[in-house]
Amino acid sequence: MGKNLYVGNLSFSVKDDELNALFAAFGKVTSARVIMDRETQRSKGFGFVEMADDAEAQAAIDGLNGKENNGRVLTVNEARPREPRSGFGGGRGPRR
């Protein structure tokens, strides 16, 4: 099935293609996405990489976690499922 990896502490200059190339050294990358702020369109400093093979994903974790990239020490681990969000947000206050 493949594995989804969390990549933290990315340099704010890293783009999707650079993230893809970094992980491609360890195997087939299905997708690589740097998460961007909706308001500013700037990187939030983390991303997700999906790798086709579990063994290759583990090799990427072992090879990149704690390693320096663009002057920053990366955090790479298996991504946890997204927490469910409550239906409340936006700070509008109660409806009348």
d(CA 21, CA 34): 13
Burial class (CB within 10 angstroms; exposed 0-12, middle 13-18, buried 19+) of 48: middle
Amino acid occupying residue 92: R
Of the listed ranges 26-40, 57-71, 75-89, the least confidently predicted one is 75-89
- pLDDT the model gives residue 64: 98
Write down the H helix ranges in the chain.
Answer: 16-24, 54-64
Residue 77 backbone dihedrals phi, psi, to 5 degrees: -155, 175
**Does the pLDDT of residue 77 top 80, yes or no?**
yes
CATH code that applies to domain 3-78: 3.30.70.330
**Does the pLDDT of residue 46 top 60, yes or no?**
yes
Domain boundaries, the chain: 3-78
